[in-house]
Amino acid sequence: MRKYGLPVVFLMVGLLFSLKERVMTAQAGRATIERPSPRVVSSLSQAVSDPQGALVLVFFSLECPVCWEELFEVRDFVFNYSIPIDLVGVTLDQPEVLEPFLRKFGFLEPVVSDRQRELYRRFRVGAEPWVVIIENDLVLYRDRPTDDQSARREKARQCLLGIRDRSRS
């Protein structure tokens, strides 16, 4: 302490308190920032503005960790490769249970709570996870139960890349 003197020590302590106050103020400000809420809807028409456009549906269940992985994998793939497609999750789970899950994992894409099984029947969903890719109201890709998970994922990715390539030309 003698080397720097008492005024320098007081200055350093003051700077540390000032820094601590700034950090606490920033954290408090960050806590008040509201994140967008997940969109849980009851129909596909509520989920997308243009149902004729390119659309990928990922059927999942909250009770299935493999489903969560598929949901997030598709979302990340679409985002990372800039694929011009709407992503919609579809589940039989109730909105009250879905919203906390989606908020926790930052999933902001729309999710249809298909309680009447309308989409499950329409796209003949055989299991979860299940991926269906649609463009101009035509099914371009639909998971096949005979394919293993890695083969399904690769076929869905190839279909998504085809949509991206067509949109660029």
Name which of 154, 152, 60 is nearest 107 in CA terms: 60
26 to 22, 23, 46, 99: CA distances (angstroms): 6, 5, 37, 27
pTM as predicted? 0.77
Instruction: Please report the pLDDT score of residue 146 as a whole number.
Output: 87
Q: Which DSSP symbol is given to 140? A: E
The span from the CA of 11 to the CA of 7, in Å, is: 6
The CATH number that domain 40-168 falls under is 3.40.30.10
Residue 13, H or E segment? helix 6-32
**pLDDT in tens for each of the 169 residues of the chain?**
445 555 544 445 454 545 455 555 555 555 545 566 778 999 999 999 877 789 999 999 999 999 999 999 999 999 999 999 999 999 999 999 999 999 999 999 999 999 999 999 999 998 999 999 999 889 999 999 889 989 999 999 999 999 999 988 8
